């Protein structure tokens, strides 16, 4: 499988057309981070497919958005006595063999216990399974080969400081898996992302990550952009930092002036920002006005189609 990761990156460089990042897969249609959601995202033509990564107790990187398991799986039913004092179930407390026994489902709201996005895939059905990072990269490489269309990967290292506090160092483990699948340099179709700037610096300077690197910046960027530009290739701000009250802020143009790519998150057709009435309006503001380079989207087909349409006009 190794050679399959060595796809040249030229089709998605900064000067090229903006691209679609399938946020947790085609998560608007199928429960997030399942094999089915990733296959669908690939079939919909997303240029990149996202993997959030946490560790199991036996240090296997698995593809899960939360360090907790309770809002996306049947863990409370299957392992009722394994919760911590805070009432939550942590992926890090389960071996991979145990995680494989879980049935994954559409996300529930932790407070209400109700489905977070009620119009999406019913949370009561599915029988979906957890994927390891290794399995997912193999899946994408397989689809790249069988379809002849290359989708890149977009892994996020989740809560590295927390993992270390718990005695597990997630970053070097993730880098080893990426290297095994051929993702090592900026030539390869891979962006590595993280919310923690200390870890981003560590990835670059201590752990030697030479590939594309994105700092997830949230709604308020607390670090000087010029400082960021020395370390990373791009920033991932929330959409609200780019478009506020239907106006484009100057964040994207400031970042672009420093050579940083801008990849905001997340387009949700069923949860648009206040004052925005359609996903087309939001994408016009993001792509046409703010000129963002990529967009995280729960609905990859909508973004792929919008970009296709605007490219031809």
Which of 47, 52, 233, 298 touches Ca ion (CB under 5 A)? 52
Secondary structure (DSSP) of 125-176: ---B---BHHHHHHHHHHHHHHHS-PPEEEEEE--HHHHHHTT--HHHHHHH
SS3 20: strand
CB of residue 311 to Ca ion, shortest distance in Å: 26
CB closer to Ca ion out of 66 and 310: 66
Cβ closer to Ca ion: 156 or 261? Answer: 156
| Residue 208, Ramachandran bin (φ over 0: left; ψ between -120 and 50: alpha; else beta) | left
33 is catalytic: no
Q: Is 106 in the site for Ca ion (CB under 5 A)?
A: no
Determine if 156 is a binding residue for Ca ion (CB under 5 A).
yes
Least distance (Å) between residue 310 CB and Ca ion: 26
Site residue total, Ca ion (CB under 5 A): 2
Find the part of the chain contacting Ca ion (CB under 5 A) among 39-47, 125-133, 153-161, 218-226: 153-161
Binding window for Ca ion (CB under 5 A); candidates: 47-55, 118-126, 144-152, 162-170: 47-55
Annotated catalytic residue 181 = no
3-state secondary structure of 12: helix
Using CB under 5 A as the binding rule, whether residue 66 contacts Ca ion is answered as no
Tell me the C-alpha distance between 164 and 114, whole Å.
32
Enter the DSSP assignment of 65: S
In terms of DSSP H, where are the helices of the chain? 35-43, 75-78, 96-99, 133-147, 160-165, 170-180, 197-201, 225-231, 251-257, 279-283, 300-311
List the helix and strand counts (H, then E) for the chain: 11, 11
Q: Which of residues 240-259 bind Ca ion (CB under 5 A)?
A: none
Stretches 154-162, 168-176, 194-202, 287-295: which one binds Ca ion (CB under 5 A)? 154-162
Nearer to Ca ion, 83 or 240 (CB): 240
Catalytic residues: 23, 65
The residue ranges that bind Ca ion (CB under 5 A) are 52, 156
């Amino acid at each position: 499988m190794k050679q399959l990761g060595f796809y040249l990156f030229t089709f998605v460089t900064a000067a090229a057309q903006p691209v679609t990042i399938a946020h947790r897969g085609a998560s608007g249609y199928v429960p997030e981070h399942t094999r089915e959601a990733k296959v669908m995202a690939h079939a919909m033509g997303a240029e990149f497919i996202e993997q959030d990564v946490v560790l199991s107790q036996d240090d296997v990187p698995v593809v899960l958005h939360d360090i907790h398991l309770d809002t996306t799986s049947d863990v409370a039913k299957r392992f009722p006595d394994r919760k911590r004092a805070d009432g939550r179930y942590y992926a890090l407390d389960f071996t991979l063999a145990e995680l494989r026994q879980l049935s994954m489902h559409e996300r529930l709201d932790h407070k209400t216990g109700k489905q977070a996005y009620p119009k999406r895939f019913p949370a009561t059905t599915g029988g979906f399974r957890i994927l390891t990072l290794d399995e997912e990269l193999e899946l994408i490489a397989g689809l790249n080969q069988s379809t002849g269309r290359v989708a890149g990967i977009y892994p996020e290292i989740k809560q590295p400081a927390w993992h270390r506090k718990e005695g597990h160092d997630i970053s070097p483990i993730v880098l080893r898996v990426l290297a095994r699948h051929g993702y090592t340099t900026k030539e390869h179709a891979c962006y590595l992302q993280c919310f923690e700037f200390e870890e981003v610096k560590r990835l670059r300077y201590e752990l030697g990550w030479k590939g594309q690197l994105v700092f997830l910046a949230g709604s308020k960027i607390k670090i000087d952009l010029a400082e960021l530009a020395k370390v990373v290739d791009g920033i991932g701000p929330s959409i609200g930092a780019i478009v506020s009250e239907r106006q484009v802020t100057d964040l994207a143009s400031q970042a672009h002036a420093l050579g940083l790519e801008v990849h905001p998150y997340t387009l949700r057709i069923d949860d648009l920002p206040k004052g925005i009435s359609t996903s087309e309006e939001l994408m016009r503001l993001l792509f046409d006005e703010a000129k963002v380079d990529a967009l995280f989207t729960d609905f990859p087909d909508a973004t792929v189609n919008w970009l296709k349409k605007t490219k031809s006009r």
